Amino acid sequence: MAIDPSFENTYEEVDRHEDHRVWTTDGEEPTEDKQGIHGTHVAVDFDICIADGACLEDCPVDVFEWTDTPGHPESEIKADPTYEDQCIDCMLCVDVCPVDAIDVDPGRAGRL
Per DSSP, the residues of 61-106 read T---EEEE-TT-SS-SEEEE-TTGGG-----HHHHH-TT--EEE-T
Measured from the CB atom, is 56 or 77 closer to ligand SF4?
A: 56
Residues that bind ligand SF4 (CB under 6 A): 42, 58-61, 63, 87-93, 104
User: For ligand SF4, which is the closer residue by CB, 2 or 90?
Assistant: 90
Nearer to ligand SF4, 33 or 89 (CB): 89
According to the annotation, is 89 in a ligand binding site? no
8 and 111 Cβ atoms separated by less than 8 Å: yes
47 marked among binding-site residues: no
As a whole number of angstroms, the distance between CA 74 and CA 47 comes to: 7
Residues marked as binding for [3Fe-4S] cluster?
49, 55, 97
Residues marked as binding for Zn(2+)?
17, 20, 38, 80
